[in-house]
Structure 1
C-alpha cells in the first residue's frame, strides 16, 4: 500500500445505520500479545486451541473480542480480564482467569452461570486492529489514547479498552458499546466523549450510531430513526427503551415496514424503509470500489 492510496475510511458513501456488528453473546478476553489478521485464524492462540475455541463459541452463537489496555504499563498483567456479555439482557459479567483456555469451560447460555460478578458500568471498545486494516490503527489508536487519558484505569476502572476487529473498519474509528451491543463509526474525540458520558447514564446517543447488533439491518435503521425523532423533539431516550418488531419485517419491492414500540410510554411507531444501491464503497484498504445495498428511512409515523 502506498501513501497516495485512498484509505477505506476516507470515503463515506454509505449511511451508518444498519451496519452494526451482529451478535447477541460476546466473550471479551484480555490478550496483550499479538492479534493475527483474524483472532481465530490460528495465528493468535495456535491451531489446536483455536479450533476448540471456535467450536465452543459456535455452539452458543457467541462472538469473541480481544481487548488490551492502551498503555504499555497497563499491559503488565498477572491475570486476564474476561467479560461475558449478554446483549439482549444488557448484562455484563466479569471474571479474572489464567489464560484463553478458560473460555472452553464457560456456559454461555445466559447470565449467572459462571460464578462471575455482574458489572454495572458500560464498556467502550475502540478497534485498533492494524493487521485487519490500517485505518483502525491510524484512526482508532489516537482516539483510544485520548479516551483513556480522560477515563484512566487508576481512577475510573476498566471503562475504555482497545479491541480487535469489530466489523466495519471502513467506518473507522469503529467503536463497540457494551452491554447493549451498539456499534458506532466515524467518531471524533468530542463525539466519543459525549457518547461515553451519555452511556454512563444509560442515555441513547444518536450521532455516529450504526445500530444495535441484536437487530437485523432493517431493525437497526428503524430503531435509530425513532430514537432520533424523539431526541430531536427534546424527549429523553435511553438504551433498552425500544422493542423492535424485527421478526415481522417483510421487504417487498425494496420497501420494508418495521414496527417499533417505546416501552416507556407504550407509543407505537411504523417506520417505512426503502432499499437503494450506493457506489464507491471500499470495504478494506487496497480493495477496489464496489456497490453496496443500504436501507434508508422514508417515514416515521406514530400510529396510536
Structure 2
C-alpha cells in the first residue's frame, strides 16, 4: 500500500448530512452551485475538499443547522488543524484558497485540540468503502466519539476500509478496529504508525513510499520527524529533523496479478513503488 495516498497538502472538510452521490460535491443536499465553485477552487489551488458526516444515522434536518468545518495543513513541521461551526457553506467561498494551499489559515476558526480520522463510506463511489467503512465505524465509534467522521472519496478503494488522519495527512488502508485504536492513539501523542499506512498526503507518491520504508528502517514514529528535501530522477532526499539525510532510490512498476481498483470494476494491473536503495548522505558542512 505504500505510496498510494491521495496527494494534497491542505484539506477542507465540510459537514454535509444526508445522502452523497458519486460526485458528492455536486450530488448531495449541498447547494450544487456552491459545490461546483468549491470544486473549481480546489482544482485551481490544490486544496482537497471532502464532505464529512457524523457516524451512524445522518438525516439532513435543514439548511440552517450548524455544520462543522475543518481546515488542515499537512506539511511536516507546519501541520495544523482548525475547526469552525457555520450554517452557510457559501462562507467557505470567501477563503483565500491559494494562501490556504501554502499553509496559511489567516486566523480562520479555532485550533482543534485533537486529531480526527476520516473514514471513506461513500457507497455511490464504491460499495466496498461503504460496507467495510460503516462496519468499522460501528465497532469503534463509541470509544472514539468526536474523533471519527464518515467522508467522501479518498482513493484506494481496493484497500477498503480506507481513512485519512488530520492534521498529519497520513492515509491508511485495510483498517481494523485495533488499527483505528493505534492510529488515533499515535496521532494524539504526535506520532504515527506505519502499520496499514499508505503514505503522507503532503508528499508525492514516490516520496510517500520512501518515507515509510525509511521509518521502518529507523524505527521512527515521531509524526514530524521526516521531511522531503528534493526529488530528482527517481531519487528522493529525506531529512530528519536532527539534520541527518538519506538518498532513497524509488522505482515505479506494475504489480501482478491484475485486480479491481474498485468493487465491481474490471481487473487491471496496479501501480506500485519499490525502494531499491537507501544511502546515508554526508552531513552538510
Q: Does 1:93 align with 2:79?
A: no
Name stretches of at least 5 consecutive residues in structure 1 with no aligned partner: 1-15, 153-157, 251-255
Equivalent of 1:297 in 260, 275, 280: 275
Contact kept? 2:164, 2:171, Cα under 8 Å: yes
Instruction: Say which is worse superposed, 265-274 or 184-193, in terms of deviation.
Output: 265-274
2:253 corresponds to which residue? 276
Q: What does 1:105-184 align with in structure 2 at a 5 Å threshold?
A: 105-108=94-97, 109-110=99-100, 111-113=104-106, 115-152=108-145, 158-184=146-172
1:58 corresponds to which residue? 43
For residue 70 of structure 1, give the secondary structure of its aligned residue in structure 2. Answer: coil
After superposition, give the CA deviation of every residue in 1:148-172 in whole Å (9 maximum; x if it has no partner): 21122xxxxx311111111111110
Instruction: Say which is worse superposed, 57-66 or 85-94, in terms of deviation.
Output: 57-66
2:69 corresponds to which residue? 82
Aligned counterparts of 1:55 and 1:270: Cα–Cα separation in 2: 37
Taking only aligned residues, the RMSD between alpha carbons, in angstroms, comes to 2.1
Aligned counterparts of 2:218 and 2:61: Cα–Cα separation in 1: 45
Contact kept? 1:23, 1:62, Cα under 8 Å: yes
TM-score normalised according to structure 2 size: 0.88
Contact kept? 1:70, 1:144, Cα under 8 Å: yes
Alignment CA distance shift 1:68-1:177 (3 Å): same
Deviation of 1:125 after TM superposition, in Å, equals 0.6
Aligned counterparts of 1:25 and 1:300: Cα–Cα separation in 2: 29
Equivalent of 1:67 in 32, 38, 52: 52
1:259 corresponds to which residue? 237
Q: Does 1:203 align with 2:191?
A: yes
Aligned counterparts of 1:47 and 1:70: Cα–Cα separation in 2: 23
For residue 245 of structure 1, give the secondary structure of its aligned residue in structure 2. Answer: strand
Aligned counterparts of 1:50 and 1:145: Cα–Cα separation in 2: 29
Alignment CA distance shift 1:259-1:138 (3 Å): same
Length, aligned pairs only: 273
Equivalent of 1:194 in 182, 207, 231: 182
Aligned counterparts of 1:31 and 1:289: Cα–Cα separation in 2: 33
Q: Does 1:285 align with 2:263?
A: yes
1:245 corresponds to which residue? 229
Alignment CA distance shift 1:73-1:221 (3 Å): closer
Name stretches of at least 5 consecutive residues in structure 2 with no aligned partner: none
Aligned counterparts of 2:182 and 2:39: Cα–Cα separation in 1: 36
Alignment CA distance shift 1:199-1:47 (3 Å): closer
Equivalent of 1:37 in 22, 32, 37: 22
Alignment CA distance shift 1:123-1:33 (3 Å): same
